[in-house]
Amino acid sequence: MAGPFEIDRRMLIAGATVLTVAGVPHGARAQETPVIDERAVLIVVDVQNDFCPGGNLAVPRGDEVVPVINALAKRFSNIVLTQDWHPAGHSSFASSHPGKKPFETVEMPYGRQVLWPDHCIQGSKGAEFRADLDVSSAQAIIRKGYRREVDSYSGFVEADRKTPTGLTGYLRERGILRAVIVGLATDFCVSWTAQDASAAGFETYVVEDACRAIDLEGSLEKAWAEMAENDITRIRVSDLPG
């Protein structure tokens, strides 16, 4: 699946709308090393079977993030998971559009939509988190893409770029100030989630070695540049306090 998945992600870049929410200031300028305390949250993005090797939309070497995230999670008292959670027949599936094939596009009310193979269907094996992902202390799971007519890449705002997932409100009510983001894939869902976290006012970090990327035709370099422009700090696990 790697070949067509890469083609699709290129198309997704071309058709993506601006990630920053209009009228909302960017997050606070992050320090080089985040403070991990009760005001920090670890956001684990989409570490699900369908996005790991053998899945329908596998990120190359995506399974390698699991032991890194498992170790990192032990340092956080606040953990949130995001999970793709599509109903059967979701509008983003090629199977919902007669005559269309996976990785082609259609126009939706919110713009161009890439058509995916059926994936992360509610209750399916592909939608499950990796069995070896050990983050049992997580307090919340943000399920996204469950509205039949709207896809969702970011953990904060759906693909129409105006429908919130509820994560911003949850974190604000919990008194969270800092978001440390890991998961799949660096240059797409992680980047979108990080940029929306910063736009919502959180001090935002992405842990490079706790993510894996598609890195298609410079997409990874572009994503890091966009994240830097949005006050997001790129760090490694070794930069975090023990």
Q: Report residue 76 as tokens.
A: 């956080």
pLDDT of residue 8 exceeding 70, the answer is no
Amino acid in the structure at residue 74: K
Peptide bond into 185 cis (omega under 30): yes
Please give the angle made by the CA atoms of 154, 157 and 161, to the nearest 5 degrees: 110
Q: Which residues are catalytic?
A: 46, 144, 189
Task: Answer yes or no: are the C-beta atoms of 210 and 69 closer than 8 Å.
Answer: yes
Distance CA 77, CA 37 (A): 7
Structure-model confidence comparison of residues 154 and 103, the more confident one: 154
Q: Higher pLDDT residue, 8 or 137?
A: 137
SS3 192: helix
The model's pLDDT over 97-143, given as tens digits with 9 standing for 90+, comes to 999 998 788 999 999 888 888 999 999 999 999 999 999 999 999 99
pTM for the full predicted model:
0.85
- Residue 2 predicted with pLDDT over 80: no
Confidence label for 29 from pLDDT (cuts 50, 70 and 90): low
CA distance 43 to 241: 17
Using one digit for the tens of pLDDT, what is the confidence trace for 51-93?
Answer: 999 999 899 999 999 999 999 999 999 999 999 999 999 999 9
Q: Which residue has the tokens 């035709």?
A: 217
